[in-house]
Structures are given as structure tokens and as C-alpha cells.
Amino acid sequence: MARFPAIAFSKIAVPKAGTLVITAGEGGALGGFGAQVDEAAGGAVSRAIKAAGFKGKSGAALDVWAPGELGLARISVIGVGKAEDMEAGDWLKLGGQIMARLQAGAGDGATVVLEAPGASEEAVAAEKAADAVLGLKLRSYKFDKYKTRKGNDEEAEAEGKVSKVTFGVAAPSAVQTAFASRDKVASGVLLARDLVNEPANSLGPVEFAKKAQDLSKLGVDVDVLGGKELKRLKMNALLAVAQGSARPPRVVVMRWNGAKDKAAAPVAFVGKGVVFDTGGISIKPALHMEDMKGDMGGAAAVVGLMHALAARKARVNAVGVIGVVENMPDGKAQRPGDIVRSMSGQTIEVINTDAEGRLVLADALWYAQQKFKPKFMIDLATLTGAVLVALGQHHAGLFANNDELAERLVAAGEATGEKVWRLPLGKEYDKQIDSKNADMKNAAGRHGGAITAAQFLKRFVDDVPWAHLDVAGTAMGSPASEVNQSWGSGFGVRLLDRLVADHYEE
């Protein structure tokens, strides 16, 4: 699949070959090491900066090819702007920008020396450097599993040459230690991206469940519930979505017990896993239906998160529950007007079979809270197009019944760059999902569509603190960024890992 460069750490030194990446501050000012390199190159770097009018703005780049007598293929100068104002997210983006620069040019080995020119402390702290390394790894991801003509792909050919990146830092062991946990989280993000990018003919509910079962290698207890178990549990809302598909549904339960008290209440994460969504009988338009392979982005994030927590041995008890189905318009498919009885006992009139994700989550949420009595529940789902209308693709929609949990999610989003924006819940919206024929209906019209979907889910949550993340605009097809050029973003893994790390570990 993706080809990642090997990452190493060493003391700051000028390499003898390959590419050297250095940073420049405002006005193109070089740091102490950069100035030494420039002097060794006979002033080639400073002359290039002046000739190109390079101002060192954040993200700007300048290449100096075959500089002086150094033996290097090139020196790549990356602007950091006002280095003293850089925050953690800026160092993450810098790492992505560096990787993009390395991919754009020839040369096998690369050395990166991070400085903060113009800052009072020019040496970059280990945590900031580790954020940059994380950004580099996230940016290096590319889903090319199914490409057979990679040799004729100029971009792939160039990327394949970046086989090793060495970070020259003041304290290599400290940066390596700081990066170790980030590396585990990155692996969770990339797993989620792989799952979202995988075509539906290769990743059905059974195959998805098998991918989740691989987490057992990390010490995660994984249980897979098949059709018989789901019927016995009376998960009829979830089963109704799956009944039109030839591929059977699965519910996967993943448990990581990392807290000292193994009996302590866990934190719980629930994911919508519709591996392909045709809309069912209420079939979607053909245009862009291929994107519906990504309608399991919420479940992918939960699997990626559980991978991250287990891999870094998070000191928390955590449960992940994903409902995995396919929504197809078979002769056995549910119809508009059908009424199903959910696991909670509440009845649902199916107005629109394309509002299927909330049916899956209704049973998964009820199961998670009844089975595990968690401290909180957070569900993730590519649930509504309405959230894109409201927020675009730079924030996920956040709905919550608990202010503290909501505030912590917002803070984690700001810290990681996986931003969320809180939208309202309220009894007024309940009226839109009330049904004449059942306890509720699964679709309430166009007005406030993301809100009424969340209000529907709220009916399957008791008093447990709960948040719903509508990631329809951020988990798939989101805008390219410094740290992600992939269609599947893995959104939610770093956000929720940060939430756990900041507030729920022992």
C-alpha cells in the first residue's frame, strides 16, 4: 500500500550526500546551523534566498541544487515565518510540508534539521520536533494498492525514492521517545485511511470484521457478533438495514483494558460502518455513488482509535463497538413505511431507507451503554449531507448531552487540527421526528437535517454522557491538507486519542 520512509534520529550534522532540509524564518533568516551550511556552501544558500526574493513565509520553499562543494544533491529551505509564534499544529503541518518537498525532488536519503530562526530559543524542543516527524509520516501516506503501473507514474516514482529521512536534532533520544507514542497513533490513523479507501467489493462486513480482529495481536479483546447473535439481541433496526444485502451484517466489539483497575467503567466509542450505501429502496442518484464506499468512516475511526490506544498501551479501559452492514435495494430490502422494533424496544417508522446510519447506530449505542455502563459514549458517523451544508468540510458536527464532554472534544480538536463545531439539540426538534404510526420516524425532512439525526440518536442514550460526531464532511473526500493527500482522512483517531490522553488515563 503506502510506502513510508524509514525514520532515524541523530545529532545535528551536515550529511555527505542526498537532500538537506533546513528552516528559515521571517525575511529568509537562517538559524545557526543554516548559517553554517550556507558558509560551507560558499554562500550559495543566502545568494539563492536573495535572488529568489524568498521571505521565509510559513510553508514557502526554495531549492538550492548541487550547492558548492558539499556533495549534496540539494538544500531545501522551508519557511516557518515567525517561528516564536508557532504552535503544535504548525509543527505538524511543517512536517507535512517537508515531506511534500522531499517527494517533489530526486535523491534517496534526506536529512532534516529543524530550527526556529528568530525565536528566543532557536533549538526546537523534543515535543515540537516529534510533532513535525508525525506530520511527515502522515503526509507520506498514499493508497496505491491497486495500481499496477507504478513505474510509469512519475509521482509514485519520485515518492519511491524517499526511502529514509534522518532528523538531526539537539537531543535525538528525547525526540525519539516523544515520537514513539505519536508513531503508534499515526499507525491508527493510517489503518483508518486504508479502511475508508478500500473498495467495497474487497471490504464487506465480514472482511471489515476480520480487519478489526487483527487488533487482537495488540492485546485487544475482539468479539464478532453474527446474524444469529444479532437476532437474539433483537438488534432489529440494524438488521433491517442489512436485509437487502447478500452480505451478512456484523457487530464488532473491541475491548482494551489498560487501566490498573480492570473493572473500572470504560470509555466507549461507537461507529457507523455502512461498507456501501446505495440508499436502499430510496436509492441515491448515480452521480458520485462510488463515494459511498466511505460510508463506514466512523467505524474505521473507531478501529483506528482502538489500534492507537492498544499500541501505545494507553492507561484506560476502552470499548469500541461498530455496526457493519451494507445497504442494498434487493427484493428483501426494507421499504419506506416499514416499522421496526429496535433493541431498546422503541419502534421506528422507516420513511427513507437512505437514512440508514441512524438505524445502525440506534442498536449499537443501546448495546454499548447497556452492556458496558461506560463513563461516556461518543459515536462517529458519516451521517448526513446536511452537516456539510452547515459546516463545510473543515469541521465535524458535534452534538452532546454533556457540556464538559463537548468542551473537551472542542479543545482536543483545536490541539490536533481535527476540529469540531457544536450544534444544538433540543425538544423542539423532537417534534420533527415524531411519527403517527410508531415512536419515531427515521427522517424528518430537509430543515435541520443534521440536528434531527442527532436528536434521533439521543433517544437511544439514557443518562450517560454522550456526544455524536457527524463526520460526513471530514472522514472522506475532505480537502487535501499539509498532512493528508488521501481521499480517506482517518479523521477522529487523533482527536479521540488526544481526548483520552488529556482527561481519561490514570
Q: Which residues are catalytic?
A: 284, 358
396 DSSP β-pair partners = 420
User: What strand order describes the sheet that includes 466-470?
Assistant: 221-225, 250-257, 317-327, 267-277, 377-381, 466-470, 396-400, 420-422
From the list 217, 138, 214, the residue with the least C-alpha distance to 179 is: 138
Alpha helices in 140-200 (DSSP H): 154-160, 172-197
> Hey, what long-range contacts does 417-421 have (CB within 8 A, 24 or more apart)?
417/89, 417/92, 417/93, 417/481, 417/483, 417/494, 418/474, 418/491, 418/492, 418/494, 418/495, 419/394, 419/395, 420/395, 420/396, 420/469, 420/495, 421/391, 421/395, 421/396, 421/397
403-416 and 88-103 helices, crossing angle to 10°: 40
Cell of 131: 510533532
Pair 134, 92: CB distance under 8 Å: yes
The Cα 390–Cα 449 span in angstroms is: 10
Cell of 147: 495500481
Helix (H) or strand (E) holding 270: strand 267-277
Measured at the CA of 494, the angle between CA 178 and CA 103, to 5 degrees, comes to 75
Residue 218 φ/ψ, nearest 5 degrees: -95, 0
Instruction: Count the Cβ atoms, other than its own, within 10 Å of residue 47.
Output: 14
Contacts of 146 (CB under 8 A, 6+ apart): 199
Pair 451, 428: CB distance under 8 Å: no
DSSP, res 259: S
The Cα 253–Cα 319 span in angstroms is: 7
Pair 272, 404: CB distance under 8 Å: no
Cell of 132: 513535525
> Hey, what long-range contacts does 210-219 have (CB within 8 A, 24 or more apart)?
211/303, 212/252, 212/254, 212/303, 212/306, 212/322, 213/252, 215/254, 215/303, 215/306, 215/307, 215/310, 218/307, 218/310, 218/311, 219/256, 219/310
- Provide the 3-class DSSP secondary structure of residue 342: coil
